Structure 1
Amino acid sequence: MLQEIGFNGGVPITEEFFIKNISGRHNEELCGVLLPNWDLQRARKFMDDKEALFRRLASEQLEPVKGLNKLCKWIEERGLKRAAVTNAERSNAELLISALGLSDFFEVVVLANDCERQKPFPDPYLRALQVLEVSPKHTLVFEDSVSGVKAGVAAGMLVVGMGLRNPEKSLADAGASFVINDFNDPKLWTALEELENKEEIVTVTT
């Protein structure tokens, strides 16, 4: 879509550009980052069209991260509270959660528009903690973006980085305690066992 409007002289953006300027950002912020010379109404329309395209592609291509079902079962068996905290638009979040069969899994869904400030500010995570009535010291966060990691850390929570797209170093530099490639990663299960033995985990958010 950026190519179609002549962004960057029509040259496709690189993965590095995406990671640095787009990944994890809310659309209102992206209006200024990508389309600073457009009036706000036009920029918002572009973002709405982007989201519609995303939903179409996601409905056709979405696949769960390896080990997701295993992790969800582990969480449910222990009766842990859980929340989805996302910068995504409501329609996107609902589509993804439903497509992955997680509609009944999450007790709380906090969207970007539910808070005055979005990630990387801690507000969305703080709201989830408030609704679930839990302490950040007993909460584990899974995040795949730098802004998300910063938000979780700023809210005082232990954050596991998901190295699905962003470089491990970027997630670690943002404050992730460790980075995994999927939910089958032995590092995750070792950490979960240690936290469970210490009775230090009651909530999982992502």
Structure 2
Amino acid sequence: MFTEALLFDLDGTLTDSDPIHMIAFVEIGRRYGVAIDEAIFREHISGQSNRLICRNLFGHVDPALWDGIADAKEARFREMIVGKLTPIPGLVGFLARERARGAGCAVVSNAPRANVVAMLAALGLTKDFDAIVLGSELPRSKPDPLPYLTALETLGVPANRAVAFEDAVPGLLAAARSGVATVGLTTSLDGEAILATGAHLAIPDYDAPELQPFVDAALGRPAAVTSIG
């Protein structure tokens, strides 16, 4: 279907949505006697599947209620994002250039589908992605590489012709384990922590001057020829 692909996590990678997620988790945590601060958010929530989050934070609650807790939190999150999401700087231009070159693009996320649809619409990016692959709909979610392997299969692209973009440890591990060249956004982690996961490049945003040369090299594109005279 495509000869090369760009695979993007959503939260913290297409948009800096973690502050809104944290507020929603603080609210739902308070209902069940769980105090959530930034350290807990980073360790037990960021990049994790909702099932694992509930197991870690709401283990004192009947597991039969976990799906309802997660659904309530996500519904609150979707209420809160209206008019508040913006793309990571440089993302829109980067996507436009890459799509003009024929790259296939996919969202690869642990988020529920309702969140992904709402967030892409809020960002004006719905038409920029050829596939949405969700760990919540697969037998295994990030940090297992299955979501990334599934995205590659969906787009018909081998791992050595793809680049992944992530911001949190579970996703960075999943992408690196899939054999895909991996770029980490420093929205959640510093550069040292990103590279420690096996990622190949850490950038603050999509305007980073080192990004395009890295992507071109990772995808095996011919080097630009500079004319003389």
TM-score for the superposition, normalised by structure 2: 0.80
Whether 2:56 is the aligned partner of 1:33: answer yes
Q: Give 1:204's aligned residue.
A: none
Matched-pair contact (CA < 8 Å) for 1:19–1:166? no
Q: CA RMSD in A?
A: 1.6
Say which of 17, 33, 43 aligns to 1:6: 33
Q: CA deviation at 1:67?
A: 0.4
Q: Give 2:12's aligned residue.
A: none
Q: Deviations over 1:88-116 (max 9, x none)?
A: 00100001111112211111111123310
Unaligned regions of 5+ residues in structure 1, if any?
201-206
Partners in 1 of 2:216 and 2:47 — Cα distance? 29
Whether 2:68 is the aligned partner of 1:45: answer yes
Matched-pair contact (CA < 8 Å) for 1:31–1:47? yes
Matched-pair contact (CA < 8 Å) for 1:146–1:174? yes
Say which of 204, 222, 227 aligns to 1:181: 204
Q: Deviations over 1:31-62 (max 9, x none)?
A: 11001121112222111111011111112311
Paired letter, 1:101:
G
Matched-pair contact (CA < 8 Å) for 2:110–2:135? yes
- Structure with the larger RCO, 1 or 2 (CA within 8 Å, 6+ apart): 2
Partners in 1 of 2:218 and 2:55 — Cα distance? 41
Unaligned regions of 5+ residues in structure 2, if any?
1-26, 223-229
Say which of 71, 80, 99 aligns to 1:76: 99
1:33-112 mapped onto 2 (5 Å cutoff): 33-112=56-135
Partners in 2 of 1:99 and 1:138 — Cα distance? 30
Q: CA deviation at 1:195?
A: 4.1
Q: Deviations over 1:96-144 (max 9, x none)?
A: 1111122111111111233100000011111111111110011000001
1:116-127 mapped onto 2 (5 Å cutoff): 116-127=139-150
Matched-pair contact (CA < 8 Å) for 1:144–1:163? yes
Partners in 2 of 1:172 and 1:162 — Cα distance? 11
Paired letter, 1:154:
R
Partners in 2 of 1:106 and 1:182 — Cα distance? 19
Partners in 1 of 2:82 and 2:188 — Cα distance? 20
Partners in 2 of 1:145 and 1:61 — Cα distance? 21
